[in-house]
């Protein structure tokens, strides 16, 4: 029995959810998202609660049960509140700035790294060493943050590079004489 799947998703004020077959559409103040769920899960809505249950007793149906609920929860939360990831840049001369719709990173390479912001994602730099990524789609926000971090992941000796805010970098001891 899925501990996640058996809990219903509560739809907050100002968000409308429409279930059409296996497609769930959520519309709120920040935008509109839709997700097509698998056939192994039955989705039903009553008042402001969305319930999920497996269509049959197969292993795949039980696996998809909790995942489907989480995907719909992310839709509802995305159109009502949005998602946000913060990145920190540490290292001498490492910095970031916005130029129009592009994020320009100076990460110790001989050239600047330019990252164009995808549609539906808002990137901002409140400080030269901080990047904030905001959007409605949780998967896309996480993907953009991971792509920016991948340009220069934090290294274990000095901790230089791009890391998630609050991420702990396991530091190694340097050479001994």
Two structure tokens written together for 37: 């769920």
**pLDDT tens per residue, range 76-108:** 999 999 999 999 999 999 999 999 999 999 999
**pLDDT tens per residue, range 134-152:** 999 999 999 999 999 999 9
Superfamily of the domain at 83-164: Ribosomal protein L6 (3.90.930.12)
Tell whether pTM > 0.95: no
Picking from 150, 149, 148, 151, the residue whose alpha carbon sits closest to that of residue 163 is 149
Evaluate if residue 2 carries a pLDDT over 80: no
Mean predicted confidence (pLDDT) in 113-125: 95
Fold match flag (9-80 vs 83-164): yes
Give the model's confidence band at 171: pLDDT under 50 very low, under 70 low, under 90 confident, else very high: very high
Evaluate if residue 176 carries a pLDDT over 90: no
The bridge status of strand 49-54 relative to strand 83-90 is unpaired
Give the model's confidence band at 175: pLDDT under 50 very low, under 70 low, under 90 confident, else very high: confident
**Structure-token match 């609660």, residue found:** 49
Superfamily of the domain at 9-80: Ribosomal protein L6 (3.90.930.12)
Domain ranges for the chain: 9-80, 83-164
**Structure-token match 């009553």, residue found:** 46
The sign of the CA dihedral 3, 62, 77, 28 is negative
DSSP class of residue 167 equals P
Evaluate if residue 1 carries a pLDDT over 70: no
pLDDT, position 3: 83
């Amino acid at each position: 029995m899925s501990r996640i799947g058996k809990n219903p998703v509560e739809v907050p004020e100002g968000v409308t959810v429409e279930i059409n077959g296996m497609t769930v559409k959520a519309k709120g103040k920040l935008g509109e998202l839709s997700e097509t769920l698998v056939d192994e899960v039955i989705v039903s809505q009553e008042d402001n609660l969305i319930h999920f249950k497996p269509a049959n007793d197969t292993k795949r149906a039980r696996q998809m049960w909790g995942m489907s609920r989480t995907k719909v929860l992310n839709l509802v939360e995305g159109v009502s509140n949005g998602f946000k990831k913060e990145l920190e840049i540490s290292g001498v001369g490492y910095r970031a700035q916005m130029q129009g719709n592009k994020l320009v990173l100076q990460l110790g390479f001989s050239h600047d790294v330019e990252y164009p912001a995808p549609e539906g994602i808002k990137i901002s730099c409140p400080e030269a060493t901080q990047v904030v990524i905001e959007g409605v789609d949780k998967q896309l926000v996480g993907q953009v943050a991971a792509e920016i971090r991948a340009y220069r992941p934090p290294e274990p000796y000095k901790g230089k590079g791009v890391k998630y805010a609050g991420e702990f970098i396991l530091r190694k001891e340097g050479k001994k004489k």
